[in-house]
Structure 1
């Protein structure tokens, strides 16, 4: 639960289109909603932010306290967060920076808001620097209007494919940096290990939610009107289980990405990518024609008139 002070800031932020007074007046503020690492409950926290290209930066300063803030631990367990910025709300991928990348971003944040340097001086811990990457195709710009369930399905599939491509690119960069290390000692950590972990974790959690929603709601709903597709939905559900198994195997490898064999990891990632893309292709072939005329967001059924004889 937010503190009484934070709750008052949250209410003022939402009531005034992202503008607040008091100590935050004139500052760049956002609301970050994370999922509890242990409780699984959502918590919203007002935070200052700094823009950096297409991303937003938030700093785990905790006012210079000796421990990281709770929201930081939460996003390590659940990387997909919700961001309220002005009058808009987004899903975002939270990726902590490491090594030289963290130093570069922290310097950028301090230049924009010098108070972060004061917070760092108060504690021996390294203040986390987290980038919030918009998890929607349009980024932080105005969203493209989606009017059908087919469009919504393609939006989700496009995001999943994009995340998988980025995992591959970051994996290649990680292993290239390891291979380039020369000299005694262990290879320097290029800072991508945590980034890959966050993206893989977000991808897997989003895919699991997407498949669970399809199996529990979308497929049964369509099957009621198209019983001849029962076998098709059974095949798609079986593919979901296969993809989930591959996800688990990849996650096990990911836990040891600092020491895992690069070729084995790449082979597993390629196997998963091929299986997932084939599944998405097949799902689109089967479902898009059926969903093309289904409105999105869902419309409530019209109210039934009262029967005067009742």
Structure 2
């Protein structure tokens, strides 16, 4: 890769002008029409399409970006051509860490995690070896260029329910994913506190705050949980209730449990508002409360509702 290559040129403007937006769209269209290949100044270079959700308006926004592989992960850099501000897509993924990535003809969901400290330095050095232009961007600004790791969105211990044929299977798939995400956030948080407690001797102990890895995964879990419960309250539960009016007490209980979980989720969201998690010990306490309430809620919902959904095909059969 030549030193003069500018990997982020198609995308890095925090407030894109109409001309930049038009150029970006032409790159996106060419990328999708040609299986991820783009000509012109980016011919032969590694490009991906990153779709983030707007931090304010909530609208999907797709950005072409240069990337560098690192093991099984992909790295993108918020270079903004060496400008003084982070690009808009970076602010979006801090607010909503679940992103969509297109590489070649493949599209997948990913968790976007900015690297921190020594790991950021290690990964940035790796990026510069592959794409030296990023070193020039860093040299031209006082801003530390973010290095974002795009990693698989599934928890390490994720095991889906297998083939999804019924609505019951689909509900179990979502529940299993939520349980796995929550379990992984708790494991990473516990490991952080254990490392702090075990520190002895010279050298710095782990920082008191919790890292972006934990923040981003927990934020993604909270957003997925909120969407899941809104879908249940708005569509699934009313549909079942119409056919099973004798389950009024069940849905009253599920509604109350949703409100309880939402209160805990709100407390977690408050602690996730900044780049560093505020009050790590309180965060750990709220996380334990979420785990107890949510797992009990999911267990009850599965016991009562899954038998009613076992014969409902998924995806729905269109009339």
**Does TM-score exceed 0.5, indicating one fold?**
yes
1:240 aligns with 2:258: yes
- Aligned to 1:260, which of 257, 276, 279? 279
- Aligned to 2:245, which of 211, 227, 234? 227
Please say which of residues 237-246 and 192-201 is displaced more in the overlay: 192-201
Per the alignment, do residues 258 and 159 of structure 1 end up closer, same or farther by CA in structure 2, a change over 3 Å counting? Answer: closer
For 1:112 and 1:230, the matched residues in 2 are separated by 61
1:189 aligns with 2:182: no
Counterpart for residue 117 of structure 2: 99
Q: CA deviation at 1:67?
A: 1.3
For 1:191 and 1:34, the matched residues in 2 are separated by 26
Matches within 5 A, 1:198-213: 198-213=216-231
Counterpart for residue 97 of structure 2: 79
1:125 aligns with 2:143: yes
For 1:91 and 1:18, the matched residues in 2 are separated by 17
Contact 1:97 1:191 in 2 (8 A): no
Q: Secondary structure at 1:170's aligned position in 2? A: helix
Counterpart for residue 43 of structure 1: 61
Contact 2:167 2:313 in 1 (8 A): yes
Per the alignment, do residues 151 and 48 of structure 1 end up closer, same or farther by CA in structure 2, a change over 3 Å counting? Answer: farther
1:110 aligns with 2:128: yes
Please say which of residues 49-58 and 154-163 is displaced more in the overlay: 49-58
Q: Secondary structure at 1:75's aligned position in 2? A: helix
Counterpart for residue 186 of structure 2: 168
For 1:154 and 1:163, the matched residues in 2 are separated by 14
Counterpart for residue 313 of structure 2: 295
Q: CA deviation at 1:212?
A: 0.2
For 1:5 and 1:191, the matched residues in 2 are separated by 41
Gaps of 5+ in 1: 302-310
For 1:116 and 1:145, the matched residues in 2 are separated by 43
Contact 2:271 2:278 in 1 (8 A): no
Per the alignment, do residues 299 and 191 of structure 1 end up closer, same or farther by CA in structure 2, a change over 3 Å counting? Answer: farther
For 1:118 and 1:221, the matched residues in 2 are separated by 58
For 1:40 and 1:254, the matched residues in 2 are separated by 18
Counterpart for residue 233 of structure 2: 215
Residue-by-residue CA offset, 1:12-60 (whole Å, 9 max, x unaligned): 1122222222222222221111122222222110112222333222111
Per the alignment, do residues 181 and 260 of structure 1 end up closer, same or farther by CA in structure 2, a change over 3 Å counting? Answer: farther
Q: CA deviation at 1:286?
A: 2.2
TM-score using structure 2 length = 0.82
Q: CA deviation at 1:191?
A: 8.2
Q: CA deviation at 1:6?
A: 0.6
